[in-house]
């Protein structure tokens, strides 16, 4: 019986200011430029239109297909086939990498529909190699 009376649960006191944490989160996300739906190619017919245009820029690790979209912003679609990249972890990594790279350079890209197709050789490349390849293609696109 003495043990039950002696043991008291301790009150956990947060070691940080909750209001300060919320303020930091707001300031971080305020200037963030999201890759929203208006910047994505989603429909099969849109992908087909870009592929049928046959304008493309070929890089070492990827191929960029282009089509004028008559809009104010560029739109992006990423194709990573299971045949080229068998593991889903790698496919998703490539998609995230391409989307983030395009998102950061979106202000420099003229309004086009862009479809990026990953090549099999990209499996041997690290993230920096793929970013550099995409940057080179975007520079060619600007010229």
- What pLDDT, in 10s, does the model give residues 98-133? 999 888 888 888 889 999 999 999 999 999 999 999
For the residues 2-29, what does the mean pLDDT come to?
Answer: 61
Least Cα distance to 29 among 39, 37, 21 occurs for 21
Fold of 37-142: Ribosomal Protein S5; domain 2 (3.30.230)
Each domain of the chain, given as residue ranges in start order, spans 37-142
Q: Between residues 9 and 41, which one has the greater pLDDT? A: 41
pLDDT tens-digit profile of 27-64? 544 445 566 788 899 999 999 999 999 899 999 999 99
SS3 label, residue 125: coil
């Amino acid at each position: 019986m003495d043990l039950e009376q002696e043991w008291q649960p301790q009150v956990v006191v947060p070691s940080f200011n909750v209001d300060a944490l919320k303020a930091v989160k707001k300031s971080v996300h305020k200037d963030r430029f999201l890759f929203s739906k208006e910047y994505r190619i989603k429909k099969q017919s849109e992908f087909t239109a870009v592929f049928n245009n046959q304008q493309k820029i070929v890089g070492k690790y990827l191929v960029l297909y282009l089509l004028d979209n008559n809009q104010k912003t560029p739109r992006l679609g990423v194709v990573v086939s299971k045949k080229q990249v068998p593991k889903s972890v790698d496919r998703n990594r490539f998609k995230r990498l391409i989307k983030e790279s395009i998102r950061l350079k979106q202000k420099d890209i003229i309004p086009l529909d862009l479809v990026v197709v990953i090549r099999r050789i990209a499996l041997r490349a690290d993230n920096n190699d793929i970013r550099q390849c995409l940057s080179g293609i975007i520079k060619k696109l600007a010229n």
